[in-house]
Amino acid sequence: MSRFVGIAVLCFGAVLINTLPIWVGVLGSYPALTERMAGAFASLVLLSASLTCAGVGAAMLSRVARCLVVLALALLAFGKDAPAIVLAVGCVGLGGAIGHLTRQALGAIQASTEGLKAISTALSLGLVVSLLLYLLVPSLDASPVVLLLVLSLPLVLLPGDAVPSDHGKPAFTHLLALPLRYIGFFVMMGAYWTFLDLFGGRFNDADAVNLWLLGSLLSGACGSLLAARIPERLRPRMQIIGLLIAATTGAASYVAADLSIFGVTIIANGFALFMFFPLYLQGAGKQMPQAMAGYLLGFATGGAVGAVVIQLGGYQALAAVILLSGLLGLNPARRRMVPK
């Protein structure tokens, strides 16, 4: 897989993940599903993506992943009357295929001389396209799943080797290679983004909350672009700063008493998280796919973990745990800065 194809795959993956709320909302309107079940299906997409990105199922998916993305989206787009189990299989297939393609893309990018620039470019484009979809879907007479299906079609035509370099390794070796140092932080970032809309309801201005959330996509694109311009010697320090800002603003969102403060923290969080993320991936080197798998696994479980935290201690407890998850990630980051 070439670097260009890798960027295209990561860009589409970013669009798929960042538009989860709108296209999963469409699934929730299907006769066989409820909104709660559709939310669980979103977790299925992320969980299966994390497993295949880590390398599980490489032999099975190596030749069919690109076509499977299109077929799964077609099933979800046009299977309105399908049973719940069929739709669940479609979500698992979609996540598994995009996770496997992401693994290949990161392998190609890691081997290039400008890996950080490629990651930042892909993420920035994906966030901008996601923003455009959010803005266009209300005025278009088309399902967002159909739009995603159209966007996925070029993946089938792009050139590239479909065979991963670690073909044949046992699945458990991939899972053991998952980086654990930031998974807690990613879990709480998943919880952070899951409950923002619900918490924002207390301000009685849904339109303003939605605008702030859309603005975070733009600020995230800016943060990702900035990451590529950071000099190499400053990258470990800026990664720590991004982590701290994301954790601090994430906590601040859930104790904000004013809509403007709430909105500013969302914008700042998007910027910091997507400045941190490319630096995190680039710093993983040959373990980029496992690093991405850890991120996906965290976001897949974040909603459930956040719900438990809120049930036990309310939104203030959620704010405290978000902040703590960032602080716990500092020590490993600092150790990497010490010369050996």
Structure confidence at residue 286 (pLDDT): 85
CA distance 214 to 270: 10
Structure confidence at residue 176 (pLDDT): 46
CA distance 214 to 131: 6
Closest CA to 308 of 323, 293, 326, 321: 321
CA distance 294 to 54: 8
Structure confidence at residue 284 (pLDDT): 87
CA distance 274 to 269: 8
Structure confidence at residue 178 (pLDDT): 58
Structure confidence at residue 189 (pLDDT): 97
Structure confidence at residue 179 (pLDDT): 64
End-to-end CA distance of the chain: 34
Structure confidence at residue 338 (pLDDT): 39
CA distance 278 to 247: 17
What is residue 290's three-state secondary structure?
helix
Binned average pLDDT, 10 residues per bin, the chain of 340 residues: 85 96 90 85 94 84 87 95 95 95 90 87 96 91 92 83 46 52 93 94 94 96 96 94 97 96 98 96 89 93 95 96 93 44
CA distance 340 to 148: 46
Backbone angles phi, psi at 70, to 5 degrees: -65, -45
Prediction pTM value: 0.90
Structure confidence at residue 157 (pLDDT): 82
Task: Compute the CA torsion angle 216, 219, 220, 226 (nearest 10 deg).
Answer: -170
Closest CA to 213 of 242, 253, 175, 241: 253
